[in-house]
Amino acid sequence: MDDDAARERLLDAAEGLFYARGIQAVGMDAVREASGLPLKRLYALYPGKAALVEAVLARRDVRWRGRLMARVMEEDDPRERVLAVFDWLEGWFGEPGFRGCAWINASGELGATLPVVAEQARLHKAAFRADLLGLVCDAGLDDGVADGVLLLAEGAMVTAGIFRTTAPARDARAAAASLIDARQDHGS
């Protein structure tokens, strides 16, 4: 197996374990076993657990935001694109094994002691905000709406992760619609 295939297999295994159990609860032996790779190969690909966690979070960011934006871009109307963020979140919250936001979880678990985790969380949230800002600007709204939508989305993620329900996405969608309508009524 070449390095790219081994890396993907390793990242898939590590991501699944870290998301399901938490990063600290998963040892490298569990990652080795789940990936089917020898420990020596695992460490040749990633010299330590911190590097593996960083790679998992960076790869997940690209995939997560890609899925979100693919769904959002199915909408023709710019206002509906903003609101489609919450439709996508609702679907994600309902997926089997949903445990909340991987970056919030990782940051809460290790952000204070592992700088790469805190940095990956910051990078993901900044990229998510930039995606929202683009959607909001396309809808002719100001930056403040993007920040409000971000807060609603983040709050929905935390609430859905804790209560294991999709309802926060619908509630946040309704609040976002009200925010957008209020800004449009007052000329942004």
How many structural domains does the chain have? Answer: 2
- Residue 35's domain comprises 1-47
Is residue 93 located within the same domain as residue 33?
no
Is residue 21 located within the same domain as residue 71?
no
Is residue 177 located within the same domain as residue 101?
yes
Is residue 87 located within the same domain as residue 166?
yes
In a domain, 52, yes or no: no
- pLDDT for 66: 98
CATH code of the domain in which 8 resides:
1.10.10
- pLDDT for 167: 98
- pLDDT for 1: 82
The 3-state secondary structure of the chain, one letter per residue = CCHHHHHHHHHHHHHHHHHHHCCCCCCHHHHHHHHCCCHHHHHHHCCCHHHHHHHHHHHHHHHHHHHHHHHHCCCCCHHHHHHHHHHHHHHHHCCCCCCCCHHHHHHHHHCCCCHHHHHHHHHHHHHHHHHHHHHHHHCCCCHHHHHHHHHHHHHHHHHHHHHCCCHHHHHHHHHHHHHHHHHHHCCC
Is residue 116 located within the same domain as residue 61?
yes
Is residue 94 located within the same domain as residue 132?
yes
Is residue 133 located within the same domain as residue 66?
yes
- pLDDT for 187: 60
Is residue 138 located within the same domain as residue 91?
yes
Is residue 97 located within the same domain as residue 143?
yes
Q: Average pLDDT by consecutive 10-residue portion of the chain (188 residues)?
A: 94 98 97 97 96 98 98 98 98 97 97 96 98 97 95 98 98 98 76
